[in-house]
Amino acid sequence: MKKKSYILLLTALMFFLCACGNTYKINVVGGADLLISCPKSAAAGETVTVETKTVSDGWVEVTVSGTEVHAVQGDLFQFVMPKTNVDVRILFVGDDIS
């Protein structure tokens, strides 16, 4: 009976670790006040969309550690989740035309 319980526990633990091992954390480390939406995690290879607030006196730049970010349209940015945790930074760039 103990051996059967041990095998069931080990199988459940392996299933849990396999299911959790495919996603990575997305940490917003700068510009959170400009953020509307961003998932907290994603699977490797998944396309992640970041939505930012609209600014009228400049523009917003989004950078993600370890991968390229593409402006999709307006205030939407996308990147492909790498096989690692990432840091997202959102930066307001002012319109300094004098």
Contact 75, 54 (CB under 8 A): yes
Query: What are the pLDDT digits (tens) for 4-48?
Result: 665 655 565 555 555 556 899 999 999 999 999 999 999 999 999
Q: Is 14 helix (H, G, I), strand (E, B) or coil?
A: helix
> Given pLDDT bands bounded at 50, 70 and 90, which one contains residue 1?
low
Q: Which two tokens stand for residue 98?
A: 């004098």
**66, 28 Cβ separation under 8 angstroms:** no
Instruction: Specify burial of residue 38 (Cβ count, 10 A radius: 0-12, 13-18, 19+).
Output: buried
pLDDT number for residue 2: 63
The Cα–Cα gap between 32 and 6 comes to 45
Q: Given this model, what pLDDT does residue 9 score?
A: 57
Of the pLDDT bands very low, low, confident and very high (cuts 50, 70, 90), residue 49 is very high
Give per-residue pLDDT as tens, 52-98.
999 988 999 999 999 999 999 989 999 999 999 999 999 999 876 65
